[in-house]
Amino acid sequence: MKRKVITLSDTTFVITLPLDWIRKYDIKKGDYIDLSQINDDLLVSVDSIPLKKNIKIDISNLTERVIRWQLSALHKSGYDHIEILYANKDQEKLIYELMKNLFTGFNILSETANCLILRSIAKEDKQEFDAALRRAFRITLLMGNELLDCFKKREINEHIKEKELINNQLTNFCQRLINKHNYGGNKATFLYAIIWNLEKVCDNYKYIFDTINTIEDLIEPNILEVFELINEYLNDYYNLFYEFELTKLNKINQKQNLIKEKIKNIQKKDEILNHLQVLMTQITDFSASIIALNS
């Protein structure tokens, strides 16, 4: 949108603010707003908490997978009050499961026959974003290393899979803050893409875990080597995200070429190797968004 500059004196220049934005944040005469200069852009922001978003949905005729997608999307979108109409006990159980494992800071406000109302009771602080995102990276790295260790030691650790649930909670929380509080400003799109991709990377570690039926499901040494290199590859991108230098991508790209060559030389093709190939592609997808975030 465009705004005409008004002059009040030789040194005072004024522009009007959009009325919808004023109403949304309940800005009144005498309130303070923040101005941040980002290169050639001027970001206008306010510390006020956005108005609570309410919604009513009916999941009675939806499959379990679609219900999971819909409720996750509503949480990420920043809804604070969600009234859910459902058809049976299985759907009710699913709602409780999602609230426990995904809806960080939500509780049951009321419950009647075939209707649950969820409400956010947590004070969402934008300052928690950085800690949550770093934790999401680290829990994913830990999951990959523990999974590799599981294969090396011929031991199954059921607790490994729990880390994927923690990753879901953390990445959903970060996406919610971006959507609700515009965290990241004009770089929010790239930040959101990184978080979305991180959740998919962790999913693939879960898929690898799900291929383990017994401890006899071992993978060959050359595949173990690829697994270890891919874990290092993810760690390289983690370090790049927090200590960005464009030249670091040259070394990271060399490691990618090394992994590709080792995969090419493996004659045996199996499910785990397929997941590792997808993992490498997903991790590589961090590149453009990290560069854009730092441009």
pLDDT tens track of the chain, all 295 residues?
A: 777 778 776 677 788 888 776 776 667 776 667 676 555 666 676 655 555 688 999 999 999 999 999 999 999 888 889 999 999 999 999 999 888 888 877 888 888 889 999 988 877 777 789 999 999 999 999 999 999 988 888 777 778 889 999 999 999 999 998 988 888 888 899 999 999 999 999 999 999 888 875 555 557 788 899 999 999 999 999 999 999 999 999 999 999 999 999 988 887 777 888 899 999 999 999 999 999 999 8
Strand (E) or helix (H) holding 35: strand 34-38
> DSSP letters of 68-85?
HHHHHHHHHHTEEEEEEE
Instruction: Give, rounded to a whole angstrom, the gap between the first and last alpha carbons of the chain.
Output: 24
**What amino acid is encoded at 174 in this protein?**
C
Question: How far apart (Å, rounded) are the C-alpha atoms in residues 56 and 169?
Answer: 23
